[in-house]
Amino acid sequence: MDATGLRRTMRQRLYGQHLAQETVLPALQSHFNNENPKKALVISFHGWTGCGKNYLTSMIAENMFKKGMKSEYVHLFISTLHFANPNEIATYQQNLREWIHGNVSLCERSLFIFDEVDKMPPKVMDAIKPFIDHYDNLEGVDYRKSIFIFLSNSGGNEITEKTLRHYQAGKIRETLTLAQMEEVLISGAFNADGGLKMSELISTHLIDHFIPFLPLERRHILLCIRDYMNAYNFTPTDERVAEIADSLQYFPKANPIYSSSGCKRVAQKTELLISAEREREKQRLRRLSGDDDDML
């Protein structure tokens, strides 16, 4: 794993998530540096959509494997796609066991990503319990060097409430600690509907880290917009950036500081503005050249 690259990427591209930055890299480094870990590393990301859960997961994959998310050793499961039918739990469990066994047999450092865990039928995830427990090997395969990442919207409301209360108390966002958040996350994940509801993975303490993703403030959205414009070689002037930021929704009503959709809609809004401005520039150049023909 390229720890230096991941640290740099998180610092440069992951905004507003100091708890994730402080926890994820040390957890990964500790796991990779240990030639004989006690168990597979299991990390659970929680928070509202658009706050960076998938983004950080992609960064991890990019700094583990040359092909990133496209690597044959990265396995992405999307609940609404792969586990959509609540009547097929036994089938899903068996498929998961076979998939994990087969792929860790090929690569002991396999990365398994479970997205939309909150939309998964309960008990499906219990199928992976043996692979993340404290066993040296199962049927001749050692799973302890593999990594499992869960992504879930569960706990998003509780995270937001705690973050807002912290702000209203006049405290700096970055003074929020993992200890303040972890208890409510664990309780929420265990009791809320979804893949971790009443799960043995929680009750037997097999999830190593619960990471909260905080709601993004307008200042973080501005940085996301600038990054997106730069990626398109489009100059991020203050006026352009503000125009996109102003088109998004914020809350609470009394003091709208948090983005309702995080950075989720930044791409669409930015692409729309870039397309419109480039079209206006094209029309301007046509007028200057005297070419007013309405040609495709």
Asked if 140 and 240 sit in the same domain, the reply is no
Domain edge (last residue) among 212, 233, 255:
212
On the question of pLDDT at 256 being above 80, the answer is yes
Asked if 117 and 233 sit in the same domain, the reply is no
Asked if 144 and 263 sit in the same domain, the reply is no
Q: In the structure, what pLDDT confidence band is assigned to residue 190 with cuts at 50, 70 and 90?
A: low
Q: Kindly report the CATH number assigned to the domain that includes residue 78.
A: 3.40.50.300
Q: Say which range, 150-164, 180-194, 242-256, has the weakest mean pLDDT.
A: 180-194
Asked if 115 and 229 sit in the same domain, the reply is no
Domain edge (last residue) among 181, 212, 243:
212
Sign of torsion, CA 80 85 89 90? negative
Q: What is the pLDDT of residue 7?
A: 97
On the question of pLDDT at 198 being above 70, the answer is no
CB 38 within 8 A of CB 144: yes
Asked if 174 and 227 sit in the same domain, the reply is no
Q: What is the pLDDT of residue 48?
A: 92
Domain edge (last residue) among 160, 180, 212:
212
% residues pLDDT > 90 (the chain) = 81
Instruction: Quote the distance between the C-alpha of residue 60 and its chain's center.
Output: 10
Asked if 202 and 223 sit in the same domain, the reply is no
Asked if 116 and 250 sit in the same domain, the reply is no
For the chain, how many structural domains are there in total?
Answer: 2
On the question of pLDDT at 150 being above 60, the answer is yes
Q: What is the pLDDT of residue 80?
A: 95
Residue 133 lies in a domain: yes
On the question of pLDDT at 282 being above 70, the answer is yes
On the question of pLDDT at 295 being above 60, the answer is no
36-77, pLDDT tens digit by residue?
999 999 999 999 999 999 999 999 999 999 999 999 999 999
Asked if 121 and 228 sit in the same domain, the reply is no
Q: In the structure, what pLDDT confidence band is assigned to residue 183 with cuts at 50, 70 and 90?
A: confident
Counting other chains too, the contacts that 95-103 makes at CB distance below 8 Å and 24 or more residues apart are 96/124, 96/127, 96/128, 97/127, 97/128, 97/131, 99/75, 100/128, 100/131, 100/143, 100/146, 101/131, 101/138, 101/139, 101/141, 103/73, 103/75
Q: In the structure, what pLDDT confidence band is assigned to residue 182 with cuts at 50, 70 and 90?
A: confident
CB 187 within 8 A of CB 79: no
Residue 294 lies in a domain: no
Q: In the structure, what pLDDT confidence band is assigned to residue 187 with cuts at 50, 70 and 90?
A: confident
On the question of pLDDT at 292 being above 70, the answer is no
Q: Say which range, 109-113, 202-206, 234-238, has the weakest mean pLDDT.
A: 202-206
Asked if 151 and 277 sit in the same domain, the reply is no
Q: What is the pLDDT of residue 195?
A: 58
Q: Which domain holds residue 256?
A: 218-289
